[in-house]
Structure 1
Amino acid sequence: MTITKQLLIGGKDVPALSGRTTKDFNPYSGEVYATVAAAGPEDVKRAVDAADAAFEEWAALSPFARRAIFLRSADLLETRGEQVGHLMAQESGGTRPWAHFNVALAANILREVAAATTAPRGEVLSAEAEGVLGLAIREPLGVVAAFAPWNAPLILGVRAVAAPLAAGNTVVAKASEDAPIACGLLVADVLREAGLPDGVLNVITNDPAEAAQTAEALIADERVRAVNFTGSTTVGRKIGEQAGRLLKPAVLELGGKNSVIVLDDADLEHAVDAACFSAFMNAGQICMSADRILVHESLAAEFTRRFTAKAASLQAGDPSRPDTVIGPLISRHAAQRVAGLVHDAVGKGAKVLLGGTADGALYPATVLAEVPEDADLYREESFGPVCVIEAFGTDQRAIDRANDTENGLACGIITENATHGLVVARRIRSGVVHINDQSVADEPQAPFGGVKASGYGRFGGRWGIEAFSSARWVTLATQRAHYPF
């Protein structure tokens, strides 16, 4: 039976004014899973109307009251593990372990922003004049446009709205066309049930062919004061350009071309397990996934043998099966894109050690070696279960290869020598680096984000609150000043 979902505007589930709908497909079966409302510009305006109307009262609400809503929503979300597992398998091809990880981390993001709402905010400043108290007070911005992606739908759906809401803003969230329920409507349902007032969070869904014009209409509304986007670098550039022209601050978390570096003092078994997780979790559809495994030449042969054998054992197929590790990519088109990158690399001299053939939206674990610099895969993010193994002889060579990308999101360095690892880590140009761990890790209290073409701004803890608030200078004179005339 096909599910039907409406827009969420002003606390009510409403159809698009045009009455139009769009289809939400199951990537594994190719069948229609749900039908959702297809918003037009007039619906975007309605959603911003509702958010703008709700802003003053929400911003004035006690931080302790806001905190209680976020804490209740975290508890409620944790009760929905089975629902999320089914939803993610059907809507985005996520496996059960990935779905349950989404639930756990998303709940912790809500708890972290709950804590941040009542944390000290602002500073007491030194003042030049006698008898003056200076304050830097952080205040909400207004209506925030939030873009929620499909690949980690619950984590990133919650992250799209949690910090802006905690800072006292209201939000209009544009859910991904590929997972509109999991990354948008479900998140809103949980927050509504937890007591979020009407209009504070509004969710719009749209036809894939109208994604660009929907985003443009949302950002262009003069009442939208900031933008929060997680997605590809290509789309992020366009979002950032429009926000910049309109002088609206934007937090952009974009793509990665990430490496795991296995140093000569690494534990080989740990290195294989860590790199395999980094490359193939969620079929490589994570912004922090490892595209490159850089291995010291003294370990390279044995690492490659063990890594390829482990990757070959990973079951690919139906995401609803408990033994499936690699589910489908988000669409057949996505699988064909990955296949094209591999085909191009092989045509230019790369060697396939494992995998390399698409089956519908399924793409098995694939390992390549000797990928030349003129191959598209050398530069482009694979965003699929494909990784390249490359040997290096010196730390400098590994650092150079890890940094040879326009992106700079995450890196993992596997070593048993923390000092050695830290020396290498300090020279990696990325927003996140993990020593003696792989590249895919996220904790809600830590500053998360990239450098270079991986975006700017930070999520997590106080950094998220600061990203969606502004510092206002306020002075209080306790005695009258002397003026020269």
Structure 2
Amino acid sequence: DAAEIVGALIDHQAVRRINFTGSTQVGRIIARRAAEHLKPCLLELGGKAPLIVLEDADLDEAVNAAAFGAFMNQGQICMSTERIIVVDAVADAFAEKFAAKARGLACGDPREGKTPLGAVVDQRTVSHVNALIDDALAKGAKALAGGKSEGVLMCATVIDGVTAEMNLYRDESFGPIVGILRARDEADAIRLANDSEYGLSAAVFTKDTARGLRVARQIRSGICHVNGPTVHDEPQMPFGGVGASGYGRFGGKAGIDSFTELRWITIETEPGHFPF
């Protein structure tokens, strides 16, 4: 039993720190158990990564990055692009290009040729994604590519017109589905990006790098890439999130700091001066 084994590991005195990668639900359980022993945790949990497309973005580059971020590994990555937030001025043009890209991504056995999308992990994922699609379409969204599936081979699915009352707006899909949210302007795009309990990875596309950096600094996330996909990791960089995406950092110096204790040691070279 996984829960029993993990609990025993956390409780054991030989274990001084815990590093967990997984769901936010399980992360909360582990954090509570570790807190009983005053053991620090490093938690890398769920995500709902936003990718913002501003009106001055290179749309072709944004489309390619969004497709990679949303559908790489069938969208089963904590950093996967779950929300594409596009300003109204370029929303129609982006949606058309992105939907065409998604429709061109074959789904099947990766060993049999150019099939970038393979199977999702299990039938429960299929049911979850299908439910997100049903809910969004029932509440006014439109499917621009893909759709529901009966089996674990799921096509790249693009849902346009996602709004706050839809489950796809907030719930992590962990599957090959992405929603397009339309924003009035830059400020509204930032608001939408931050309207989530999660805060792991994010991205913003603009030809003005200074503007991109300014927007990135306003997004509540542990990671943000300007003109790059949300799925991007480098071993020397601090990796981790905020909010329901967890806390702590691993990778590079941050990882060393997370798994070591900072100590203060002194050596006196002269006789001390004491008040008594």
Same fold (TM > 0.5) = yes
1:359 aligns with 2:150: yes
**Helix, strand or coil at the partner of 2:266:** strand
Q: Verify the 8 A CA contact 2:161 2:182 in the aligned structure 1.
A: no
Q: CA deviation at 1:372?
A: 3.0
Question: What are the residue-to-residue correspondences of 1:62-461 with 2, within 5 Å?
Answer: 210-461=1-252
Given the two structures, how large is their TM-score scaled by the length of structure 2? Answer: 0.96
Distance 2:31 2:110 in 1: 34
Distance 1:212 1:319 in 2: 34
Q: Verify the 8 A CA contact 1:319 1:328 in the aligned structure 2.
A: no
Q: CA deviation at 1:317?
A: 1.1
**Helix, strand or coil at the partner of 2:65:** helix
Q: Which 4+ residue blocks in structure 1 deviate beyond 3 angstroms?
A: 482-485
AA matched with 1:363: M
Aligned length: 276
Q: Deviations over 1:326-370 (max 9, x none)?
A: 111111111111111222222222221221211321211001122
Q: CA deviation at 1:214?
A: 1.5
Distance 1:341 1:245 in 2: 37
Distance 1:441 1:339 in 2: 27
Q: Verify the 8 A CA contact 1:219 1:227 in the aligned structure 2.
A: yes
Distance 2:75 2:155 in 1: 10
Comparing both structures, which one devotes a greater share of its residues to strand? 1
**Helix, strand or coil at the partner of 1:299:** helix
Which residues of structure 1 form unaligned runs of 5+? 1-209
**Helix, strand or coil at the partner of 1:477:** coil
**Helix, strand or coil at the partner of 2:204:** strand
Q: Verify the 8 A CA contact 1:414 1:438 in the aligned structure 2.
A: no
Aligned equivalent of 1:467, options 250, 255, 258: 258
**Helix, strand or coil at the partner of 1:397:** helix
AA matched with 1:331: D
Which residues of structure 2 form unaligned runs of 5+? none
Q: CA deviation at 1:215?
A: 1.1
**Helix, strand or coil at the partner of 1:465:** helix
Distance 2:262 2:211 in 1: 40
Distance 1:472 1:450 in 2: 26
Aligned to 1:95: none
AA matched with 2:166: A
Q: Deviations over 1:99-134 (max 9, x none)?
A: xxxxxxxxxxxxxxxxxxxxxxxxxxxxxxxxxxxx
**Helix, strand or coil at the partner of 1:277:** helix
Given the two structures, how large is their TM-score scaled by the length of structure 1? Answer: 0.56
AA matched with 2:243: K
Q: Verify the 8 A CA contact 1:230 1:254 in the aligned structure 2.
A: yes
AA matched with 2:23: S
- Structure ID, larger Rg: 1
Distance 1:398 1:405 in 2: 13
Distance 1:419 1:482 in 2: 55
Q: Verify the 8 A CA contact 1:253 1:449 in the aligned structure 2.
A: yes
Distance 2:275 2:213 in 1: 57
Q: CA deviation at 1:280?
A: 0.6
Q: CA deviation at 1:402?
A: 0.4
**Helix, strand or coil at the partner of 2:262:** strand
Aligned-CA RMSD value: 1.2
Distance 2:31 2:21 in 1: 11
Q: CA deviation at 1:473?
A: 1.4
AA matched with 1:459: F
Distance 2:82 2:263 in 1: 43
